[in-house]
Amino acid sequence: MNPSNYVVLSAVLFSIGAIGVLVRRNAIIVFMSVELMLNAANLAFVAFARMNGNLDGQVVAFFVMVVAASEVVVGLAIIVTIFRTRRSASIDEPNLLKY
């Protein structure tokens, strides 16, 4: 099977994730969208690894997962902290850093 199918799927998922980031206001859903984008990238890596016949792409995908896990942990902690003070998980609320 042509690996371009996987890569196209990856691109579609990535774009859906990007739209999610841009459109949704709930910080947690935004985070989920980011995770989706990362997963899409991972899929591309895996497909490329198979296409090129070496495992480096899989190792990179593995590292991406680790980094994504770290990011989720810290990001969710930040969301919790913000929620604690502002009683809201909307990412439009903290907009004081502006003109």
Q: In the window 2-61, what residues touch other proteins (CB under 8 A)?
A: 2-9, 11-26, 28-29, 31-33, 35-36, 39, 42-43, 46-47, 49-56, 58-59, 61
Shortest distance (Å) from residue 87 CB to other proteins? 9
Shortest distance (Å) from residue 68 CB to other proteins? 7
CA distance 34 to 45: 17
CA distance 16 to 8: 12
77 binds other proteins (CB under 8 A): yes
CA distance 62 to 3: 20
Shortest distance (Å) from residue 3 CB to other proteins? 5
Residues 6+ apart with CB under 8 A from 74: none
